[in-house]
């Protein structure tokens, strides 16, 4: 079991599962649970098939160095996207993900479509597709992380399979945890610190992406694998500084807009005869 891989997959999956759980919950409450759960299960099966086929194909046919370069690049792109969004949310430049708002919005949309609180267990195609689409779209990111992370963490064909297995186990554990928590409370999981999780995953993906991409190009990192901790420290420090910088930029922007509003008003009051 590769714990770093499993942890990264667990955290990333937890965020995505919370997001898709909200939609499944709305469909379950507003349409019916049968359609919601069938949609979610069908999407989970599609994702499992994707990981199994794509993962196996990559394990068998692609040389490790090529894999590290390509997957390091992809992880870097993916990680920087997550990190950028998390920093923007911390700095207040982007709205935080609000599960309660998404829940209410989707519920209102379903109601407007003419759906009512369902007591019947009749299969509803729209509810099924909505649930399927939401789990599949959010889960694709998880599948991507499971495959790339699982493959890159390993150094031989045998441990490549174990890397994918570790990542998949992390994702499954996150899924079970979210489903269990959701089944217990039966409300959108609004209290999960999604942005913090996304930030942590962004740091991890960027760190491992940098490390593996470097190795793909023959970089010999000082201290070997322990250099990962230094990379984490560098990216954490940089993220902290960037958040502070963006917060200050936002403050200046506010002060400037208040000033701009105040100046014409003062000029106008001077022109008006008393």
Partner 1 sequence: MKVIKAIYNFIVGDMVILIGVILAVSILALINNVGALAPLKGFSGPFLIIAVLASLVATLGREAFSSQH
Residues that bind partner 1 (CB under 8 A): 69, 73-74, 76-78, 80-81, 83-84, 87-88, 93, 140-141, 144, 206, 210, 213-214, 217-221, 231, 234-235, 238, 242, 246, 249-250, 253, 256
Q: Measure the CA–CA gap between 168 and 184, rounded to whole angstroms.
A: 24
Residue in 144, 179, 146, 150 with CA at minimum distance from that of residue 41: 179
In contact, 127 and 36? CB cutoff 8 Å: yes
Comparison of 31 and 87: residue with beta carbon closer to partner 1: 87
Tell me whether residue 170 or residue 209 sits nearer to partner 1 (CB atom): 209
- What does the alpha-carbon distance between residue 141 and residue 47 come to, in Å, rounded to a whole number? 10
Which residues 6+ apart lie within 8 Å of 210 measured at CB?
A: 72, 76, 231
Closer of 80 and 190 to partner 1 (Cβ):
80
CA dist., res. 240 & res. 265, Å (int) = 38
Closest contact distance (angstroms) between CB of 214 and partner 1 is 5
How many Cβ atoms are within 10 Å of 224's Cβ, its own excluded? 8
In the complex, the smallest distance separating the C-beta of residue 57 from partner 1, rounded to whole angstroms, is: 18
Q: Whose Cβ is closer to partner 1: residue 220's or residue 271's?
A: 220
Work out how close the CB of 173 gets to partner 1 at its nearest, in angstroms, rounded to a whole number. Answer: 24
The least CB distance from residue 238 to partner 1, in Å, is 5
CA 143, CA 264: separation in Å to the nearest integer?
A: 55
In angstroms, give the least distance from the CB of 32 to partner 1: 31
Between residues 181 and 234, which has the closer beta carbon with respect to partner 1?
234
Rg (CA), the chain: 23
Nearer to partner 1, 56 or 248 (CB): 248
Shortest distance in whole angstroms from residue 83 CB to partner 1: 7
Which residues lie closer than 8 Å to 57 by C-beta, 6 or more apart?
A: none
């Amino acid at each position: 079991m590769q714990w770093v891989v499993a942890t990264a997959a667990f955290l990333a999956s937890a965020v995505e599962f919370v997001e898709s759980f909200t939609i499944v919950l709305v469909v379950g409450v507003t349409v019916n649970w049968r359609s919601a759960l069938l949609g979610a299960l069908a999407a989970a099966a599609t994702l499992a098939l994707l990981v199994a086929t794509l993962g196996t194909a990559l394990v068998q046919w692609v040389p490790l160095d090529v894999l590290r370069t390509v997957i390091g690049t992809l992880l870097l792109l993916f990680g920087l996207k997550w990190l950028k969004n998390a920093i923007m949310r911390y700095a207040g430049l982007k709205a935080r993900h609000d599960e309660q708002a998404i829940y209410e919005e989707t519920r209102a949309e379903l109601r407007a479509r003419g759906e009512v609180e369902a007591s019947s267990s009749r299969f509803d195609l729209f509810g099924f597709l909505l649930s399927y689409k939401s789990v599949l779209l959010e889960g694709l990111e998880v599948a991507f992380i499971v495959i790339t992370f699982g493959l890159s963490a390993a150094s031989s064909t045998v441990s490549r399979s174990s890397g994918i297995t570790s990542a998949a186990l992390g994702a499954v554990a996150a899924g079970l945890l979210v489903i269990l928590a959701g089944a217990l409370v039966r409300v959108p999981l609004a209290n999960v610190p999604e942005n913090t999780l996304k930030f942590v995953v962004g740091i991890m993906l960027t760190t491992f992406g940098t490390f593996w991409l470097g190795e793909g190009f023959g970089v010999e990192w000082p201290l070997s694998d322990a250099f990962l901790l230094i990379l984490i420290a560098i990216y954490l420090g940089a993220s902290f500084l960037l958040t502070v910088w963006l917060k200050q930029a936002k403050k200046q922007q506010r002060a400037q807009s208040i000033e701009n509003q105040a100046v014409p008003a003062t000029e106008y009051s001077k022109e008006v005869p008393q």
